[in-house]
Amino acid sequence: MLIDKIISKITHFDKILLMIHENPDGDTLAAAAVLYQVLKKMGKCPALVCKDPVPRPFLFLPEMDKIQSDFLFGDFEIIVVIDCGDIRRTGFDARLKDFAKKKKNLINIDHHPKNDLHKIANLNLVDYEASSTSEIIWQLLQKMKIEIDKNIATALFTGLYTDTGGFKHSNTRPKTLEIAAELLKRGARIKLITQNVSLNKTVPAMKLWGMALSRLHRHSELKIVSSVITRKDLKDCLATYDDIAGVVNLINTIPDSKAAILFFETPEGKIRASIRTEDDKVDVSRLAAIFGGGGHKKASGFTIDGKLIFDKESWKIVLE
């Protein structure tokens, strides 16, 4: 079985690099933290890499201080890419292709639809039905007969909790709740998770959210709700980019809407679009793909070069 091949690989080799995707969310961070802890207990020499810093709400997770922004890939025998829906989201696409070709030890653990990362990985542990990559890691640990302590349980619960929107999204299946219950039995600290992830909004964050809500626009024919956040907004509100997290999920709760899109300017001078839907007939990943992005059927995104401009009565995207 595929899962047995992956267990054999990580058992045989010692130097293992765990790769977290850019703009990391709770699932990729939690799954990576758990694998790091397990590998350390096995006597391995794991390392964590992510192009971007850890968002403030997830600093409570274990091993976050171990994450580096880059490594020499040649120092490692295996690279495990975690929860990355597209090779570009790793930030190391060219180097990953080279590693996979030369060392043939690139493992992809994911729950996103098939993409270019699947093509270059030497082993793909992928479950499209899983709510999160943390759910897949749970299955891997069960197969390995790893003891789940409270730190591992808390991290895995965080992955499930964040990728299902607090168990509100349609990707929450019976198996997801069964795993969540097992994690609680093993000491998952749900209060710690909710305090950091859901109940941790600062005054600047609330002001920023208010600004986004004041700009809501609903397209009557397409039934798409949208809003924008600029870099100037963050400066005016004394907010950070971490404070943007959650806004798109909030505007996605408007009744009779088919999808929600939040456009926001990034520090690099680009525009990032986060797209959400709860409509089973809508696949937002197809919209994201048009602009070179990707993700899930219900949650996707893309990035383009440009800036947001208010022109008399409406917001416009000026491409660069």
What string of H, E and C letters represents the secondary structure of the chain?
A: CHHHHHHHHHHHCCEEEEEECCCCCHHHHHHHHHHHHHHHHCCCEEEEECCCCCCHHHCCCCCHHHEECCCCHHHCCEEEEECCCCHHHHCCHHHHHHHHHHHCCEEEEECCCCCHHHHHCCEEEECCCCCCHHHHHHHHHHHHCCCCCHHHHHHHHHHHHHHCCCCCCCCCCHHHHHHHHHHHHCCCCHHHHHHHHCCCCCHHHHHHHHHHHHCCEEECCCCEEEEEECHHHHHHHCCCHHHHCCHHHHHCCCCCCCEEEEEEECCCCEEEEEEECCCCCCCHHHHHHHCCCEECCCEEEEEEEEEEEEECCEEEEEEC
Residue 103 pLDDT greater than 90, yes or no:
no
Residue 161 pLDDT greater than 90, yes or no:
yes
Q: Mean pLDDT over residues 53-72, rounded?
A: 95
Can you name the CATH fold of 2-196? inorganic pyrophosphatase (n-terminal core) (3.90.1640)
Asked if residue 240 lies in contact with residue 276, where contact means CB atoms within 8 angstroms, the answer is no
Residue 54: band (very low, low, confident or very high) from pLDDT cuts 50, 70, 90: very high
Category of 238 on φ-ψ map: left (φ > 0), alpha (ψ -120 to 50) or beta: left
Residue 108: band (very low, low, confident or very high) from pLDDT cuts 50, 70, 90: very high
Residue 115 pLDDT greater than 80, yes or no:
no
- The hierarchical CATH code for the domain 203-319 is 3.10.310.30
Residue 140: band (very low, low, confident or very high) from pLDDT cuts 50, 70, 90: very high
Amino acid, single-letter form, for residue 297: K
Each residue's pLDDT tens digit, 235-280: 999 999 999 989 999 999 999 899 999 999 998 889 999 999 999 8
Q: Mean pLDDT over residues 284-291, rounded?
A: 92
Provide the residue ranges of all domains of the chain, joining segments of one domain with +: 2-196, 203-319
**What is the average pLDDT score of the chain?**
93
Tokens of 265: 């300017």
Query: Can you give the pLDDT at residue 312?
Result: 80
202: buried, middle or exposed (CB in 10 Å: 19+, 13-18, 0-12)?
A: middle
